Amino acid sequence: MAQKIVHIVGTGTIGEPLIHLFADKREELGIDEVTFNKRTPQFTDRSKIQDLLRRGAKLACGENVKADFENLGMEVSYETEEAIERATVVIDCTPSGVGVANKQNFYEKYDRPGKGFMAQGSEFGFGKPYCRWVNEDAIDPAEDRFVQIVSCNTHNMSAIINAIALRHGEDNLVEGNFNCIRRGSDVYEDKNIGAPEVGSHKDGAFGTHHARDVWHLYQTQDIDLKLFSTAMKVPTQYMHTLYFDMRLKQATTEEEIVAHFHEHPGLSTTYKKSANSVFAFGRDHGYMGRILNQTVLAHNTLKVLEDGKRVVGYCFTPQDGNSLLSSVAMTMRYLYPDDWESRMGTFDQYLFDEV
């Protein structure tokens, strides 16, 4: 049987935990080898690279920097293109725009049946958007060999829309308005902003790209949603927070919504009020400090108005855990199309009904 090799490109905020996760869960998931590409050799990254190597992942880099990596004490196993050619699944975790360039320059060269390629975030032009539980049926791993794992905020917004509006039918959402209150920087980043900063509404009828990204995700199922988003950054490093205001055709109740959240594995509620207390729960009870839920609904903010046909509230985006879970799910769909879902069971313990 052909070897099952997972290759991650980029060792940043998304790439590093993915390499770590695949290396740790390699046997449970049925993966033969985990490889990763790093572009820049530098002292500051040495500790994380050495830890990933210790966990069994193997480093690839360009021929021109191989000696530099080795002089810094990081063992190199493969050259950049060689690693892409060997891999069964490639997960590109580079900044926006680089994934599409990598597709054109490298991935298309090595594309063949049985392989799969993913990019992260708002990487339009790479492949079909995918979000665990939202559009499973829209993806055929045999046909859709290029897939875009949507961003953490797209996961949150689409999970909330699914749970509150579309569970009563795909035409049940009259319109949805969202305010993405974004963390100024990630916990890994040194930069931060000093004060709340509003974004501009550059995106035609959608406001910001967040609503447009969700619209594209639902388009994979031929669902046309009326959505508008606005966005702002606040000076915190802990999670994004989302305010939603949805108008529905069919009336609902707060009890019904909360019951649905507790029945569905990707959804969570919380009585906590701050992003840092939700983040801290992830640090103490999650996997690599993260919960893997798609969204965490702030219980006390949920309000059903106008005879049950308008629902407002806040929810937290669980850092990047939702994107990581979709990346693993799509990898398993490529590697084990028949029993991928049962193999994902190892992550159930990090999906909480209540935080």
Ligand X SMILES: NC(=O)c1ccc[n+]([C@@H]2O[C@H](COP(=O)([O-])OP(=O)(O)OC[C@H]3O[C@@H](n4cnc5c(N)ncnc54)[C@H](OP(=O)(O)O)[C@@H]3O)[C@@H](O)[C@H]2O)c1
Residues that bind ligand X (CB under 6 A): 9-15, 38-40, 93-96, 98, 120-121, 123, 151-152, 186, 320, 323
Neighbours of 125 (CB within 10 A): 12
Least distance in Å: CB of 91 to ligand X? 10
> What tokens were used for 225?
């949603």
Q: CB nearer to ligand X: give 151 or 162.
A: 151
Least distance in Å: CB of 61 to ligand X? 8
Lookup result for tokens 């880099």: 61
Q: CB nearer to ligand X: give 131 or 257.
A: 131
3-class SS string, 160-183: HHHHHCHHHCCCCEEEEEEEEEEE
Q: CB nearer to ligand X: give 33 or 320.
A: 320
Least distance in Å: CB of 264 to ligand X? 21
Q: CB nearer to ligand X: give 14 or 304.
A: 14
Q: CB nearer to ligand X: give 24 or 186.
A: 186
User: 244: which strand partners?
Assistant: 178, 313
Least distance in Å: CB of 102 to ligand X? 6
Give the list of residues 6+ apart from residue 244 with CB closer than 8 angstroms, or none.
Answer: 157, 160, 164, 176, 177, 178, 311, 312, 313, 314, 315
Least distance in Å: CB of 103 to ligand X? 12
Least distance in Å: CB of 118 to ligand X? 10
Give 9-60 as a DSSP string.
E--STTHHHHHHHHHHTHHHHT-SEEEEE-----HHHHHHHHHHHHTT-EEE
Q: CB nearer to ligand X: give 11 or 241.
A: 11
Residue in 148, 110, 145 with CA at minimum distance from that of residue 131: 148
Q: Please give the residue whose beta carbon sits closest to ligand X in the complex.
A: 12
Lookup result for tokens 């990019």: 119
